[in-house]
Amino acid sequence: MTRYTVRGYLDAALPPSRRLAALYQLLDRFADRPLDDIVTDLRRTLDEGPVSMEDYRRLHILISRLYHNHDADLTLTHALRDEVEDARARLQAHLAHREGGDDRVLLKP
């Protein structure tokens, strides 16, 4: 059986009428993976590329699931949320700079 990845979760198409229910079904695929494995995969995914607004939303839902279902402690949860915020800010800064804006100013998500 193929291991379900954070990238697979982010790239999965969702039906427009059942987005949240579909996300929770996708998150169930992580149930058998150890917390450390999921966290390593999440961090690798953040290092690989930009975080779109959709990715940003899905990652926060994944982090909540790690807290509630995988016993991630609050310190780890806050650290992961900060890493997602940083990844999103890097993309926003890059886009602002590319469009001729000031790359010190971050756009709101």
Per-residue pLDDT tens digits for 37-95: 999 999 999 998 778 899 999 999 999 999 999 999 999 999 999 999 998 888 777 67
pLDDT of residue 103: 42
85 Cβ partners below 8 Å, 6+ apart?
A: none
Q: Tell me the pTM.
A: 0.82
pLDDT of residue 99: 62
Residue closest to 95 by CA, chosen among 85, 84, 107, 86: 107
